[in-house]
Amino acid sequence: MAGTEWYRKAVFYEVFVRSFQDSNGDGKGDLPGLISRLDYLNDGNPETQDDLGVDALWLMPVFASPSYHGYDVVDYERINPDYGTLEDFERLCEEAHRRGMRIIIDFVINHSGVQHPWFVESASSPSSPKRDWYVWGPRDPGWKQPWDMFSTAPTWHQKNGAYYYGVFWGGMPDLNMRTPALREEVKRLASLWLARGVDGFRLDAARYLIETGGGAGQYDTAETHAFWKELAAHVRQVKPDAVLVGENWSTTPIIATYYGDTGGVPGGDELPLNFNFPLSEQILAGLNADNAAFIAAKLVEMGGVYPAGISDAPILTNHDMVRVATQLGGNGGRKANAAALLLTLPGTPFLYYGEEVGMTNGTTSNDEAKRTPMPWDGTPKGGFTTGTPWFGFSPGHASGSSVAAQTDVAESLLSRYRKLIHVRQASEVLSRGGLQVLSATTGRAPSLAFVRLLGDEQVLVVHNVTDSSVSVGPYNLPGSKAEVLFEDRGVGTLTRASNGWQATLPGRATGIWRLQP
């Protein structure tokens, strides 16, 4: 597999700072609180295995914003006062780097907040010098939100006798990246945060950057791709090892286009990582149906569509999705499957905070329920705060779905994530290798089997996605001996018969073996 960039071997962890750890008792998580929990994420000692072992953190928005979520930025240079100071942020980067972790931050440049001084000035007059920093028109052309054909939400909003475009809602006006001065300002801001210690950016709503009209003109335009190439080139020039991660929630063939041209730049000249939402959907569907064919089919499709040499970014869920534990009905076996799948697939896996302890959704129907406070222990305040949590804990934190309850339990979900992450990092094949699917892609498949490949090395991975014991194989693969990298309890010895490798796996179990000559 081409490329040696650090992100190709990394396991990322998505953090919502407001919900991770409060340091001052105001009920809101903050940067000093996050710093105090870094050893849980990675203690900096590769010999220990009682930390989670992740390599990098993605911070949801930390810029100044009037909202709890931070996606309506009002100052791209200032840290949200709820979270601390710029000095706190720089200390976070230093402490993370000291432990061998990288930091990327949400860079929300599809839109700003309506209270941003840029927009206030832009809206003040048609002759404002920043008028063309946003998208204005004399009337509402009636465009609909492009991700929902049944949407009745307006995308053009009236202000001072004209209309501005805001595809998400009126409080987040879209920036106009056709404007050269704005493009230069965005590049200046990227340089600023790279200088402050970040190692890259997650790019929100990356498909919807530059519009050419309603309908299909609102997404995946040639102008959008051209801008991402321009920004990527700038970031590589400023900090060659920085990474960009695109949120392009679409089909597999569309996502593949956002890597750009892979001929001249390893991993592509556009966005070197793109979240794999279709794979997430098929993992969850396959686990809920006890059928690995769903997952195998998607992996085969990706192999035929994604450019050679790129790095995938698999996820289970993120802050916009109902949490994986809830989608899997709280089923312990399926949660164990999900962890093993995510951490044995190719690419750069992203965990959502709390996923490792089986954190469920909250009890409300709003987005806050997907972003509830981290359950460090089973006490009423969860070890998260000494005050009143900004939002209630999700169900289960007092009865086992907490870090304290699972830390010293060998068979806990947290212990499973820790072990699988360390197994992945100890194997170049698992962390950087390619993939060959061995399972059926149609009908019913009780197990998902694939080989991870790097040079002459081969690692066989098999997941039983049912509750019943299954015999797997024979797999006609080279080798005469099998080194165990990971086996769940009860997994039978992988043996070599005349027609190939075979083993028996109990329900929901995983086996990972390095095939040796």
Catalytic residue annotation: 204, 247
Q: Where are the beta strands (DSSP E) in 42-168?
A: 56-59, 63-64, 75-79, 102-107, 136-137, 156-159, 162-165
DSSP of 79-91: E-TTT--HHHHHH
Q: Are 282 and 342 in contact (CB under 8 A)?
A: no
**CA 429 – CA 411 distance, rounded (Å):** 25
Contacts of 51 (CB under 8 A, 6+ apart): 39, 40, 41, 42, 43, 45, 418
Strand partners, 162: 159
Rg, Å, the chain Cα set: 23
Structure token pair of residue 1: 């597999």
What is the arrangement of strands in the sheet containing 162-165, beginning at the earlier edge strand? 136-137, 162-165, 156-159
Token pair in block for residue 383: 């070890």
Q: What six digits make up the tokens of 29?
A: 């998580």
- Cβ neighbors of 106 (< 8 A, separation 6 or more) are 58, 59, 60, 61, 62, 70, 71, 201, 202, 204
**Please, what sign has the CA dihedral across residues 50, 54, 55, 56?**
negative
Question: How does DSSP assign 278-324, residue by residue?
Answer: HHHHHHHHHHHTT-THHHHHHHHHHHHHSPTT---EEBS--TTS--H
By C-alpha distance, which of 349, 61, 70, 65 is closest to 202? 61
> Looking at 168-312, which runs of residues are DSSP E strands?
200-203, 243-246, 273-276
Omega before residue 474 within 30° of 0, cis:
yes
102, HSE (Cβ side, Cα atoms, 13 Å): 22
Cα–Cα distance measured from residue 16 to residue 70, given in angstroms and rounded to the nearest whole number: 10
Residue 480 CB coordination number (10 Å): 8
Q: Cα-Cα-Cα-Cα dihedral of 212, 213, 217, 218, to 10°?
A: 100
